Structure 1
Amino acid sequence: MKVSVVTPTLNGVEYLRECIESSRANARNGIEVEHVIVDAGSTDGTVELARAMGATVLQGKDRGIFDAINKGSFAASGELLGFLGADDVLVEGGLEAVVAAYRRTGARWVVGGIRWIDGRGRGLGGLAAPPNWMTPRMLVCLGWNPVMHMATYISRDFYAQLGGFDYAYKDCGDYEMFCRALALEPYARVGRPVACFRRTGQNNSASPVHKARAEGEIARVKAVHGPTSGLEETFWKYALKTYFNARNPDWLISKQLDLGRSRLKLQPHAHF
């Protein structure tokens, strides 16, 4: 089976070699991997490196990351389509687990777990795939997206049916599309990490501008898929929060450590 991995880039050469090598390492046991790089005008050697490593490269301006992913996905030829950041990596055996779940269940999309890593590749905890009984109504009550795009694979026909990502969403296009997908059919769940999400401090989620824009986009998604009852929203928010905390103890510890560091930064400096 051919699996296409789509990576949007703009001056992403720093980690790109590791990203491409991780996808190539997953091409085994009957899995062919096509890695498509969609570049928006890099000047740091990203395109040259990608070509030298055998990736398919598409170049040209786009209307944001989700437009770039659409371009790469519709141009790709794999039966399954996945999305991987230039600074992220696939876990060894991750695609085997995805393909096995896809074949076993007949589901048209598959969601796995992720591990967080830092710039040097050191582990920072992880997040297991969310339960496949979750509905879009529950998902939007949570207020953030636990369906990690770098661990999500969608069949070509389902992606076409969905029309890909809505690039009008600059930060939450994955959240919005996964809610639409979930409204049509549940995903197959992979009970192991599929990819590593690198937290470098430069991720969009760390930017105040992106955070503010994401809040507005989340509200738009909630208006379409969420409940009208504030009581129901509160119930599912805390029910799912409890579920994720209980199922992901290392993630819970990591959150508490981050919170502790943030509080220390906010404390006034002592004068001696």
Structure 2
Amino acid sequence: MKVSVVTPTLNGVEYLRECIESSRASARNGIEVEHVIVDAGSTDGTVELARSLGATVLQGKDRGIFDAINKGSFAASGELLGFLGADDVLLEGGLEAVVEAYTTQRRRWVVGGIRWIDGRGRGLGGLAAPPNWMTPRMLVCLGWNPVMHMATYIARDFYAELGGFDHAFKDCGDYEMFCRALAREPYARVGRPVACFRRTGQNNSANLAHKARALGEVARVKAVHGPSSRAEDLFWRYALKGYFNARNPDWLVSKQLDFGRSRLKLQPHAHF
């Protein structure tokens, strides 16, 4: 089976080799991998490196990251489409697990778990794939997106049916499209981590560079897919929060440590 991995880039050379080599290493046991780099005008050697590693490179201006992913996805030729950031990596055996779930569970999209790593590749915890009984109504009550794009693969025909990502969303286009996908049909769940999400402080998801805009986009998604009842909203929010905390103990510990560090930074320094 041919799988296309799409990576949008702009001056992403620092981690790109590891990203592309992780997808190349996944081409085994009957899996062919096509890695498509969609570059918005890098000047740091990103394009040259990608080509030297055998990736297909598309160049040109875009209307944001989700427009770039759409360009790469519609130009790709794989039966399955996946999305990997230039600083993310596929885990060994991850793609094989995705393909197995796709072929055995007979769903048109597949969601796996992720591991978080820092700039040096050190582990920061992980997040398992959400339960496949989750509905869009439940998902938007949670208020954030646990369907991680670097661990999500969509059949080409389903992606076309959905029309790809809505590029009007600049920060939460994955959240919005995955809600639309889930409204149509459930996903096949992979019970293991598929990819590593690198938290460097540079990507939007890590540093919330556009927090107000992102919160506005989340509200737009919720207005379409969420319940009108405040009671139902609170029920699913806390039910799913409890589920994720219980199923992801290392993630829970990591959150508590992050919270503790944030509080220490906010405390005034004592003077002696």
TM range (shorter): over 0.9
Query: What is the count of residue pairs matched by the alignment?
Result: 272
The aligned counterpart of 2:8 is 8
Distance 2:208 2:241 in 1: 23
The one-letter code of the counterpart of 2:40 is A
The one-letter code of the counterpart of 1:119 is G
The answer to whether the 8 Å contact 2:199/2:206 transfers is no
The answer to whether the 8 Å contact 1:108/1:154 transfers is yes
Could you tell me how far 1:210 is from its partner in structure 2?
A: 1.3
The aligned counterpart of 1:120 is 120
The aligned counterpart of 2:179 is 179
The aligned counterpart of 1:45 is 45
Could you tell me how far 1:271 is from its partner in structure 2?
A: 1.2
Q: Which runs of 5+ in 2 are unaligned?
A: none
The aligned counterpart of 1:90 is 90
Distance 2:123 2:205 in 1: 19
Q: Residues 106-126 of structure 1, C-alpha deviation per residue, up to 9 Å, x if partnerless?
A: 100000000000000011100
The aligned counterpart of 2:34 is 34
SS in 2 for 1:246: helix
1:192-203 to structure 2, matched below 5 A, reads 192-203=192-203
SS in 2 for 1:92: coil
The answer to whether the 8 Å contact 2:113/2:192 transfers is yes
The answer to whether the 8 Å contact 2:64/2:167 transfers is yes
The aligned counterpart of 1:166 is 166
SS in 2 for 1:104: helix
The answer to whether the 8 Å contact 1:98/1:110 transfers is yes
SS in 1 for 2:210: helix
Select between 79-88 and 205-214 the one with higher mean Cα deviation: 205-214
1:244-255 to structure 2, matched below 5 A, reads 244-255=244-255
Q: What is the Cα-based RMSD across aligned positions, in Å?
A: 0.6
The aligned counterpart of 1:67 is 67
The aligned counterpart of 2:104 is 104
Could you tell me how far 1:205 is from its partner in structure 2?
A: 2.5
Q: Which runs of 5+ in 1 are unaligned?
A: none
The aligned counterpart of 2:231 is 231
The answer to whether the 8 Å contact 1:5/1:83 transfers is yes
- Structure 1 runs (4+) deviating above 6 angstroms are none
The aligned counterpart of 2:25 is 25
The answer to whether the 8 Å contact 1:205/1:211 transfers is no
Could you tell me how far 1:201 is from its partner in structure 2?
A: 1.1
Please give the TM-score of this superposition, normalised by the length of structure 1.
0.99
Please give the TM-score of this superposition, normalised by the length of structure 2.
0.99
The one-letter code of the counterpart of 2:121 is G
